[in-house]
Structure 1
Amino acid sequence: MGFDENKEIGEKSGAEKEILNPENDERDKLGRQMSENSLYTTDLEEEDYENKLELGPQFTIKEQLEKDKDDESLRKWKEQLLGSVDLNEIGEALEPEVKILSLSILSPDRPDIFLPIPEDGKPKSPWFTLKEGSRYKLRFTFQVNNNIVLGLKYTNTVWKTGIKVDKTKEMLGTFSPQLESYTHEMPEETTPSGYFARGSYTARTKFLDDDNKCYLEINYTFDIRKDWLTT
């Protein structure tokens, strides 16, 4: 969930991705002097800064449509976004509700891996195992209720021996509440291979919106091995 050995640092393709090379000697020497806790703290400080941004006022869907009634283009866009949503059924909720229903890993080399989502956001370790040098992609389904969710995005950060080796961010979009679930597939990636790539990794996955409201955070570990686990 967040590797592509063919990408360079800072390159963007579909998802915004930062790839770090764990075999870089200078970075490795420096990184090993820092504890994994200090790296997590740095990331949390960045998130705290984002969470301190002043948020604008919130409106129910009915209030949004009423507020934009004089802006024809904006009103038509919201009506198109809402589609067949029954405004009488969604109530007067200000906060959207996003529920991640399922997560799975798809690879042409094996049957799909379905990942159970624990309520506490901490799956049993390791959550899954990937084969080195294999192609894979992540698929997830989610449901939106109550109100429009603006700028829903997926982020994933990966560490190995306390060193951040990968960071992925992908904007999923804006979604209206509906009975049917939404499905999204991440771009295909390839796991790194070789002696230094194999081993155990820690990671954190989050689903957030434009207001930095987090709908799901999963802290987990996974392994990269020579082969897939037998099923």
Structure 2
Amino acid sequence: MSHPKEQTEDELAPTETEGYKVGQSKTVAELAALDQEDESLQRWKASLGLGTSAGSGGSKKVVLKTLFLQSPTLPKQITIDLTQSPAELAKLKKEPLTIKEGVEYSVGITFTVENEIVSGLKYLQVVKRTGITVDKTEAMLGSYGPQEAAYTKVFASEESPSGMLARSGGYVVRSRVIDDDKHVWLDFEWGFKLGKEW
């Protein structure tokens, strides 16, 4: 019999595409040096942030900034600061956010990439209620070059559950960001409850 933690780990494993192999990793400097004579290619590389100061030296690093919820019915988006200490983030599981029942909403994330290109970033999310998985999301963020400005990705909208049964009790969400190299850049739990209002 498998343990609940093992089940959650399996649920948070990204799906594999059959036949896909992760390519050889190249540094920003190596990519910038390729095809120097091709002017249009050099402009395209510059648009990706290759050859910029954000890509100078050091190992690749993804810095998660915020996780946010937005909705046409919400006056101001709800934002979770992901730069908080692990102890502060852990409080979010015990102090759940309130999401209005029966409304369309979207989850989004902001992050920066430093030093080197990161490929195949994915956002994974498992929602549980009383230990039972009620929703799972896997969204491709993509591949990004280093730059100082934050990237923002908003996922497909969903409709929150509604009704008295949905409002009773809380939900626990585990969010993870992982790349093609299986490096986990974010892994934390937070909670929410459903209400008649935000």
Query: What amino acid is the match of 2:97?
Result: F
Show CA shifts across 1:150-203 (max 9, x none). Answer: 111111001111111111001011111112111111111110112322220111
Post-superposition offset of 1:131: 1.3
**Aligned runs of 1:106-145 on 2, under 5 Å?**
106-111=70-75, 112-117=77-82, 118-120=84-86, 121-124=89-92, 125-145=94-114
Deviation of the 1:103 alpha carbon:
2.3
Q: Give the root-mean-square deviation of aligned CA atoms.
A: 3.1
Asked if structure 2 preserves the Cα contact closer than 8 Å seen for 1:82 and 1:177, the reply is no
**Secondary structure of the structure 1 residue equivalent to 2:175:** strand
Q: Report Cα offsets for 1:182-226 as digits up to 9, x if no partner.
A: 111111111011232222011100111111211111211211123
Superposed displacement of residue 62, structure 1 = 1.7
Q: Distance in 2 between matches of 1:179 and 1:97?
A: 12
Closer, same or farther in 2 for the Cα pair 1:102/1:155, shift >3 Å?
Answer: same
Cα displacement (A) at 1:58? 3.5
Count the aligned residue pairs. Answer: 184
Pick one of 27, 43, 52 that aligns with 1:60: 27
- Aligned twin of 1:174: 143
CA distance in 1, matches of 2:113, 2:104: 30
CA change 1:208–1:49 in 2 (3 A) is closer
Q: Normalization by structure 2: what TM-score?
A: 0.77
Matches within 5 A, 1:156-175: 156-175=125-144
List alignment gaps of at least 5 residues for structure 1.
Answer: 1-33
Q: 1:123, 1:219 within 8 Å by CA — same for their partners in 2?
A: no
Q: Secondary structure at 1:206's aligned position in 2?
A: strand
Compared with structure 1, are the counterparts of its residues 201 and 142 closer, same or farther at alpha carbon in structure 2 (3 Å cutoff)? same
Name stretches of at least 5 consecutive residues in structure 2 with no aligned partner. 16-20
Deviates more, 1:160-169 or 1:41-50: 41-50
Q: What is the TM-score normalised by the length of structure 1? A: 0.67
- Residues of 2 paired with 1:222 and 1:132: CA distance? 11
Give the deviation of 1:145 after TM superposition: 1.0
The equivalent residue for 1:7 is none
Do 1:152 and 1:173's aligned partners in 2 also have CA atoms closer than 8 Å? yes
Cα distance, 1:126 vs structure 2 = 2.7
> Where has structure 1 moved over 4 Å in runs of 4 or more?
45-50, 54-57
SS in 2 for 1:87: coil
In structure 1, C-alpha distance between the alignment counterparts of 2:68 and 2:24, rounded to whole Å:
36
AA aligned to 1:39 is P
Counterpart-to-counterpart distance in 1, 2:71 and 2:14: 37
Aligned to 2:192: 222
Do the aligned residues in 2 keep the contact of 1:101 with 1:140 (CA within 8 Å)?
yes
Distance 2:164 2:114 in 1: 46
State the percentage of identical aligned residues: 31
**Which 10-residue stretch deviates more, 164-173 or 207-216?**
207-216
Secondary structure at 1:193 match in 2: coil
The one-letter amino acid paired with 1:110 is: L
1:56: Cα distance to partner? Answer: 6.6
